[in-house]
Structure 1
Amino acid sequence: MTNKQRKILFSTDEIKERVRELGQQINKDYEGKKLVVVSLLRGSFIFAADLVREIEVPVQMEFMTTASYGYGEESSGQVNIINDIKDDIAGRDVLVVDDIMDSGLTMEKIIEHLKKKNPSSIKSCVMLDKPERRRTEITPDYVGFTIPDYFIVGYGLNYGDYYRNVPYIFSFID
């Protein structure tokens, strides 16, 4: 991938503005409530950190580690929960945050898993939505940007073990 050029899809400033807008909407929707934000690691850690700084309602952070991509450019279709949340979420409002929803398999599995823990509500928030790749009926509740079927990296999204630290979202071009 080092021989390819980068095509920036969303600049650092565009991302910051959209995350701010998402935070404002979440503040309205959860006004007067306490929120448990579940960040799906590793991809969502940068987005989740930026997002919770924009949320003014009380926030408790939880983390889950899932795996479905390995080192490829497409989901394997097999979603594994590597590490589960630590605290009890029964009767709590939960927002699951992920970097991208394409097939929808990861979010569907995580929501099904968390529903068994009896939260009072559960919603999803993704930085990027790729609906044309959806293999389930799930739709995210909050979306940063909707994109076509590109393989994208940066802002927490990786290729192999790299590019998560890039502060913008891009695609490689020949």
Structure 2
Amino acid sequence: MTPEFRQHLMEVRANARQLYSSEEIDAAIAGMAEQINQDYAERDPLLLTIMNGGVVLMGKLLPLLDFPLQIDYLHASRYRGETAGTEIEWIITPGTSLKNREVIIVDDILDVGSTLLAIIAACEKQGAASVATAVLVDKVHNRKAQPGMKADYTGVEAEDAYLFGCGMDYREYWRNAPGLFAAQGV
């Protein structure tokens, strides 16, 4: 990392507007877990994390789920270090068979939803019995890939801004920011 880029990253963080504190995010995740516990307590789900963004939500969600489950991950991206999405790139596919499984896809954000729709379709094509979605953030705007698109489980809603923290990145950095932030001037 160049000193100039480090300085840029520090300025982005310093000028960002905090939308949710870490405590508010943790409370939202606890609410998601409560609903998932109710819905899946007697089932055998496979939680499928979308890397890299979904790792923070998955790490906080797992200890709150009080039933036997399995986990796996995949890596599909539209951003790859950029601030605007391009074509979906499949980097790693799940190692676990999805055939006849009840899959819960865990991701950081539902923005436009194109990536999520592609992953849902891929799970269905691999024979998943059902596919549900759990996202930490639903970005509120009218550009969803399908009108009215929503995740099955959502932590918080956020404005239409460039968001980072809680697994979401700014140019592959600041996934570790404590809370959810809106970058200014991006």
TM-score category by the smaller chain?
over 0.9
Q: Aligned pair count?
A: 173
Letter in 2 for 1:171: A
**Aligned-residue RMSD, C-alpha:** 1.4
User: What does residue 36 of structure 1 align with?
Assistant: 46
Q: Matches of 1:131 and 1:79 in 2, distance apart?
A: 22
Q: Matches of 2:22 and 2:38 in 1, distance apart?
A: 25
* CA drift at 1:160: 1.3
The question of whether the paired residues in 2 share the 8 Å contact of 1:52 and 1:59 is answered with no
User: What does residue 25 of structure 1 align with?
Assistant: 35
Corresponding position: 1:3 with 2:11: yes
Secondary structure of 1:3 counterpart:
helix
User: What does residue 92 of structure 1 align with?
Assistant: 101
1:127 pairs with one of 122, 133, 136: 136
Q: Matches of 1:151 and 1:62 in 2, distance apart?
A: 28
Secondary structure of 2:118 counterpart:
helix
Identity of aligned residues (%): 25
Quickly say closer, same or farther: Cα 1:3–1:166, change in 2 above 3 A: closer
Secondary structure of 1:36 counterpart:
strand
Secondary structure of 1:173 counterpart:
coil
User: What does residue 159 of structure 2 align with?
Assistant: 148
* CA drift at 1:135: 2.4
2:170 pairs with one of 148, 159, 164: 159
Q: Matches of 1:44 and 1:56 in 2, distance apart?
A: 20
Letter in 2 for 1:111: I
* CA drift at 1:74: 2.3
User: What does residue 52 of structure 1 align with?
Assistant: 62
Q: Deviations over 1:24-67 (max 9, x none)?
A: 10000112111100000001101111111111121211100011
Q: Matches of 1:93 and 1:131 in 2, distance apart?
A: 28
Q: Matches of 2:57 and 2:65 in 1, distance apart?
A: 13
Q: Matches of 2:115 and 2:105 in 1, distance apart?
A: 11
Q: Matches of 1:146 and 1:17 in 2, distance apart?
A: 13
Unaligned 5+ residue runs, structure 2? 1-7
Secondary structure of 2:16 counterpart:
strand
Unaligned 5+ residue runs, structure 1? none
TM-score by length of 1: 0.93
Q: Matches of 2:42 and 2:31 in 1, distance apart?
A: 19
1:59-70 correspondence to structure 2 within 5 Å: 59-70=69-80
Corresponding position: 1:110 with 2:119: yes
* CA drift at 1:101: 1.0
Letter in 1 for 2:180: I
Q: Matches of 2:145 and 2:120 in 1, distance apart?
A: 15
- Structure 1 range deviating more: 67-76 or 140-149: 67-76
TM-score by length of 2: 0.88
